[in-house]
Structure 1
Amino acid sequence: CAGLWFGGVLPPVLGLGAPAEAAAPAGRTAATPQPAFVELPDIVSNLNAPGRRASFVRLRAKLEVARAEDVATVQAAMPRLVDLFTTYLREVRPEELRGSAGTHRLKEELVARATLAVAGEPRGDRAPARITDVLFVEILVQ
């Protein structure tokens, strides 16, 4: 009996929960907003490298926006986004960008900063724009 319950067979038979045909499909529905992508301008910044030798990073990325109607808001905030990203990258040390863990940390930091930048844009009575991901096209550390 427990196997039938946890296997999901018993609840619909007893009339508990949603019927099997009314269950939501695994994919996106028409009511689910489709994400959009906004390309960032190339960002070149010096890194916080100790010593005399300068180290630079070149970043090309796209922002994933939760709703396509928020693209204009993100583009209006682009100067703020570029400033926040450049300022952050100037404090990063070259060794912090090595490996997949470094790239993942960079992505998390940039998503957090992008979300703050677009949240500051006036939107009237609509919900604030939300950046869901930063997709790296190119990261070059020199």
Structure 2
Amino acid sequence: MTAIETDGGGTEQELPRKKLSGKKIVLFIVLPILVIGAAAAGVVFSGILHKGDEEHAEEEETHAAPPAECKGPPAFVDFPDVLVNLNTKERRPQFLKLNIKLELCSALDVPAVTAVLPRITDTFQVYLRELRVDDLNGSAGVYRLREELLMRVNTAAYPTRVQDVLIQEILVQ
């Protein structure tokens, strides 16, 4: 230890500096960083900072809102028969044959849908070729098939909306 002179002419011994203990580091450094980080994450994830996104929210609501119910008689479009081989691990191929009709709100939508039939056929072929026989078992399998085809046809025919996909014939061989 070193001696330090004071104004009174005497000497005092200098005390050694203490190191910060682990508890003090956690209490005064790590804990405040964690609290500030949690508060920042809460602000970001709660959406408080997204004041300018109100316009985008309105646009999403218009796209997500279900369309008005159809008025008047529906129109039907015959879809060409679809024949695909299913995804199997066996040597013997299995086939799926579908005969469907598309239900539209009005006859005014028929030209728009018939113009995009090749696109609809392509999306159906890509989806159907990945199906397995187990995917089509029972009424639940056929229901999932209808819902999936409806979603895909509405995506392909956008902005025209197809009301329903009506399965006329389904054959798995």
TM over 0.5: yes
Aligned to 2:165: 134
Residue 34 of structure 1 deviates from its aligned partner by 2.7
CA offsets per residue over residues 96-133 of structure 1, 9 Å max, x none?
111110000000000000001111xxxxxxxx210111
Aligned to 1:47: 86
RMSD: 1.2
The separation in 2 between residues aligned to 1:79 and 1:111, in whole angstroms, is: 16
**Matched-pair contact (CA < 8 Å) for 1:43–1:60:** yes
Which one has a larger percent helix, Structure 1 or Structure 2? 2
**Matched-pair contact (CA < 8 Å) for 1:60–1:137:** yes
Aligned to 2:53: none
Aligned to 2:36: none
Q: Which runs of 4+ in 1 moved over 6 A?
A: none
**Matched-pair contact (CA < 8 Å) for 1:43–1:59:** yes
CA offsets per residue over residues 16-75 of structure 1, 9 Å max, x none?
xxxxxxxxxxxxxxx924321101001100111122121110000000012220000000
Aligned to 1:93: 132
Aligned to 2:49: none
Q: Does 1:117 align with 2:148?
A: no
Equivalent pairs, count? 104
**Matched-pair contact (CA < 8 Å) for 2:120–2:152:** yes
Aligned to 1:7: none
**Matched-pair contact (CA < 8 Å) for 2:71–2:105:** no
Name the SS for the 1:50 alignment partner. coil
The separation in 1 between residues aligned to 2:72 and 2:120, in whole angstroms, is: 23
Describe how 1:18-29 pairs up with structure 2 within 5 A.
Answer: none
**Matched-pair contact (CA < 8 Å) for 2:104–2:161:** yes
> Which 5+ residue runs of structure 1 have no aligned equivalent?
1-30, 120-127
Q: Percent identity?
A: 50
Indicate the structure whose relative CO is greater, using CA pairs within 8 Å and at least 6 residues apart.
Answer: 1
Per the normalisation by structure 1, the TM-score is 0.70
Per the normalisation by structure 2, the TM-score is 0.58
The separation in 1 between residues aligned to 2:93 and 2:152, in whole angstroms, is: 25
